[in-house]
Amino acid sequence: MRFFFILFSITLFLSSCEANNDQISLNGTSVIIENKTLPVINEILFAPVQRKDDGLEDQPDFVEIYNPGKETVDLHGWHFQDCPTSSGKRYTYHFAEDSLADNLLAPGQYGIIVPEESLDRETSRLVRFYDYLSHAPSVKIFIVQRKTFSLNNDMDCITLKDVDGTVIDSVSYNSAWHNPYVKNTKGRSLEKFNDRLSSNAPESWSSSMDSEYAATPGKKNSIYLPTERLNQKPSLSIDPETFTPGSENKAIIRYKLPAGAYQVAAAIYDSDGKAIRSLAEGRPSGPEGRFEWNGLCDDGTAAFSGLYLIRVTIAGSTFSGTIELEDEMALVR
């Protein structure tokens, strides 16, 4: 294995960034933890994709709330408001008006507030677009009978109020809160890293990284991190560290970062320092992600048995410049 460690030392020497996680310079993410016991705003889609005659389901805008407390909350009479217009007009959306309806939000339960012309849950645009919701009866869907909300695509505010008009939670969002490495954010929601974070802090939010729907209404946010991991140190892991490629056998490469928005690239190098496989180049990312390697080179040929270096290069506001995470693995045929 001597040749690999020589290569590894040269790589570290030539690199302008530290591969040792303990030496990576972090700018630090200022997170504001709040011990909320009442529902909080947890996800927002304010710029849905809606095109006429394209043959595709229209995506509705929505506001997701989540109950982080230990008690069930009766939402009857609750509503939310947006920011006043230049003329002073302010829209109010009552989403739990019917006193005979099930307006209870249990601990750990999600509620989605959505504009729909029909009150039928199963035929709603929300359920047709996010089809997994048809199999998630525990997710509450609160329908406001209208075609769309008046939420602006650049910036606006959402103020959640109870039946007495008391402010329960609020956010003044900005489209600049999206991951700056995502080229097109239309149809992509803003998600919180953790429901305990302050709703009005830009550092609490980033773009959804869900690969299928670009949003996660009614389920855990795609960029979610447990409270104790919000400021986790960057790390890289490979499972298994020694693998034999096959139809079902792949090496899983995982990276973990503190809460933030990132762009990542990943490549695999052989013992001569030659890049044999690019796994990603400029991919937008949340704080955690993964790659798979099937043992093939970029040209489709099988990589030889031997030791390989995996390098993940990361850019993001959490770091000073760009960092690199590196680890080794063995391929055995």
- Please report, for the domain that includes residue 175, its CATH number: 2.60.40.1260
In a domain, 90, yes or no: yes
Gap between the Cα atoms of 109 and 31, Å rounded:
24
Residues 153 and 238 in one domain: no
> What pLDDT does residue 321 have?
85
Element (H, E) at 126: helix 125-129
Residues 259 and 195 in one domain: no
Check residues 99 and 291 and name the one with the higher pLDDT: 291
Q: Is the pLDDT at 159 greater than 60, yes or no?
A: yes
> What pLDDT does residue 248 have?
79
29 is written with which tokens?
């993410």
Residues 264 and 311 in one domain: yes
Residues 184 and 249 in one domain: no
Gap between the Cα atoms of 158 and 172, Å rounded:
6
Residues paired with 308 in a beta bridge? 329
Residues 88 and 220 in one domain: yes
109, 77 Cβ separation under 8 angstroms: no
In a domain, 249, yes or no: yes
Residues 175 and 70 in one domain: yes
Residues 68 and 210 in one domain: yes
Residues 12 and 86 in one domain: no
List % helix, strand, coil for the chain (3-state, nearest 5). 10, 35, 55
Decide which of 166, 198, 224 is a domain's last residue.
224
Q: Is the pLDDT at 9 greater than 90, yes or no?
A: no
44 is written with which tokens?
């927002």
> What pLDDT does residue 324 have?
95
39, 111 Cβ separation under 8 angstroms: yes
Q: How many domains does the chain have?
A: 2
Q: Is the pLDDT at 23 greater than 60, yes or no?
A: no
* Residue ranges making up the domain that contains 243: 2-28+231-331
Q: What is the mean pLDDT of residues 202-206?
A: 96
Among the listed residues 308, 333, 311, the one whose alpha carbon sits nearest the alpha carbon of residue 241: 308
> What pLDDT does residue 53 have?
74
Residues 202 and 301 in one domain: no
Residues 21 and 129 in one domain: no
> What pLDDT does residue 47 have?
96
> What pLDDT does residue 6 have?
37
Q: Is the pLDDT at 287 greater than 70, yes or no?
A: yes
Gap between the Cα atoms of 105 and 299, Å rounded:
53
Per residue in 175-193, pLDDT (tens digit) is: 999 999 999 999 999 999 9
In a domain, 183, yes or no: yes
Gap between the Cα atoms of 68 and 172, Å rounded:
21
Gap between the Cα atoms of 240 and 267, Å rounded:
17
Decide which of 196, 224, 252 is a domain's last residue.
224
In a domain, 34, yes or no: no
Q: What is the mean pLDDT of residues 224-247?
A: 93
> What pLDDT does residue 18 have?
39
* CATH assignment of the domain containing 17: 2.60.40.1930
Best-predicted range by mean pLDDT (79-93, 159-173, 319-333): 159-173
Residues 145 and 212 in one domain: yes
Per residue in 248-269, pLDDT (tens digit) is: 789 999 999 999 999 999 999 9
Per-chain mean pLDDT for the chain = 90
In a domain, 33, yes or no: no
Residues 58 and 205 in one domain: yes
Per residue in 64-115, pLDDT (tens digit) is: 999 999 999 999 999 999 999 888 889 999 999 998 899 999 999 999 999 9
Decide which of 170, 189, 224 is a domain's last residue.
224
Phi, psi at 219, each rounded to 5°: -145, 175
In a domain, 182, yes or no: yes
